[in-house]
Amino acid sequence: MMNHAVTGLYAITDARYMPEAQFLEKAEAALRGGARVLQYRDKGDPLAEALRRRQQAGALRELCTQYGALFVVNDDALLAKSVGAPALHVGAEDTPLSTLRAQYGRNLCIGVSCYGSLEKARQAVREGADYVAFGAFFASPSKPLAPVISLEVLRAARAELHLPIVAIGGITEDNAGALLTAGADALAVIAGVFAHAHSESAARRFATLFSHYQEKS
């Protein structure tokens, strides 16, 4: 049975920090360190680089199965289908959830980026999203132009929404606690894990934070 839980460290791949020769090695390091969700985010040309993308995504799916983690494909439903990914993440302005559900059914876990908008999140919930993501909460090296939003958005979402909430954007070991206290179920991290030479250790430090805050709650 596939694991569809959206909780804990949500690691997102990025070619800038993961050269092709080290790509799978670093991804597996994050899983060994305790990542519970791993998203394949690749901004290469879907047509010109289709083979590489399919090979990498397929290999990540196998690794996630091995480690009992949820594998997510970012913004490419066809790729997700071709490698048998159990989950897909889309932007709020991308293909409507109703269309994705009609094409792929309820077995596909679908997450939606809502940025700083509770209304986008409400719409995503109405259309059947399995989880929603908010951010950026802090200045992000991966998306330097992304507007930074208030923790109040996260607190309000937690009070109103009854599905997993993912926080994203500039998350570090130092600021992660504020997000967990405000109600995030999962923390989506790119540079905080993969920019480190030892991604396993970085992931483990994040995973330990979840254990600490769960004990306090």
57-92: pLDDT as tens digits: 999 999 999 999 999 999 999 999 999 999 999 997
Number of C-beta neighbours around residue 99 at 10 A: 12
Beta strand spans in 57-208 (E): 70-74, 87-91, 109-115, 131-134, 165-168, 186-189
What's the confidence (pLDDT) of residue 212?
79
pLDDT for position 2: 44
Identify the residue with better confidence: 37 or 3.
37
Q: Which domains are seen in the chain, by residue range?
A: 8-212 (3.20.20.70)
| Mean pLDDT computed over 90-111 | 89
- What does the DSSP 8-state code read for residue 118? H
Higher-confidence position of 66 and 48: 66
Query: 141 by DSSP, 3-state: which?
Result: coil
Question: 27 in the Ramachandran plot: left (φ > 0), alpha (ψ -120 to 50) or beta?
Answer: alpha
Tokens of 202: 């970085």
Residue 187 is predicted with a pLDDT of 98
Residue 27 has pLDDT above 50, yes or no: yes
Question: pLDDT tens for residues 131-173?
Answer: 999 999 999 887 777 889 999 999 999 999 999 999 999 999 9
24 pLDDT more than 80: yes
Which pLDDT does position 144 carry in this prediction?
79
Spell out the residues 6+ positions from residue 188 whose beta carbon is closer than 8 angstroms to its own: 10, 11, 12, 39, 133, 135, 166, 167, 168, 169, 171
- The answer to whether the Cα torsion of 69, 80, 184, 149 is positive or negative is positive
**Which pTM value belongs to this model?**
0.94
Contacts of 145 (CB under 8 A, 6+ apart): none
Contacts of 167 (CB under 8 A, 6+ apart): 133, 134, 135, 137, 154, 179, 182, 184, 186, 187, 188
- Which residue type is seen at 105? G
* Average pLDDT value over all residues in the chain: 93
* Angstrom distance (rounded) from CA 162 to CA 59: 33
